[in-house]
Amino acid sequence: MLLQLTFLAAIALATAHHGFTTPSRAIAVLSTETIRGNITFTQVQDGKVHVQGGITGLPPGEYGFHVHEKGDLSGGCLSTGSHFNPEHKDHGHPNDVNRHVGDLGNVVFDENHYSRIDLVDDQISLSGPHGIIGRAVVLHEKADDYGKSDHPDSRKTGNAGGRVACGVIGIL
């Protein structure tokens, strides 16, 4: 028993010595035959996350943009599971209190097939129960309706359609 306690104490000291800290930045890289993008996530002082980046390769319009529960790309974007929703809420707008944690709304592509992303979200985090590191960011084929339409998929997925690009969120 004393040997086990000594071993556990040694692990605790080694961990403390290496100074493991909560990550402050993360990145997701999206790459398909036609779509490319880098998205960074920065934890800011007030507990919010600043999401920035750019994506190229889609025609002008709005496209759903969400964090999904799994960072598994073994079967393409379909392997990423559902929207990240640890609170088991209905789908919603990013400004809604009651929404999936992963509901980041829509990104807008311009006439040059480019989308500049610059948003701040108060529900995702880089650590803790709402932590997104190791999960995936997914770009969908249609606009997110924010759970506000009568479509049967609206309150579950925002009726944003299929997945056109995705990337695992990793520590930067």
**Residues tagged active-site:** 66, 68, 83, 91, 100, 103, 140, 163
Among 23, 129, 40, 39, which residue's Cα sits nearest to residue 84? Answer: 129
Task: Tell whether residue 66 is among the known ligand binding residues.
Answer: yes
- What is the signed CA dihedral for 82, 144, 121, 68, rounded to 10 degrees? 20
Task: Tell whether residue 91 is among the known ligand binding residues.
Answer: yes
Task: Tell whether residue 93 is among the known ligand binding residues.
Answer: no
Q: Which long-range contacts (CB under 8 A, 24 or more apart) does 43-47 make?
A: 43/125, 43/126, 43/127, 44/120, 47/122, 47/125
Unique residue bearing structure tokens 């999401």: 51
Binding residues are 18, 66, 68, 83, 88, 91, 100, 103, 140
User: Where is the binding site for Zn(2+), in residues?
Assistant: 83, 91, 100, 103
Binding residues for Cu(2+): 18, 66, 68, 83, 88, 140
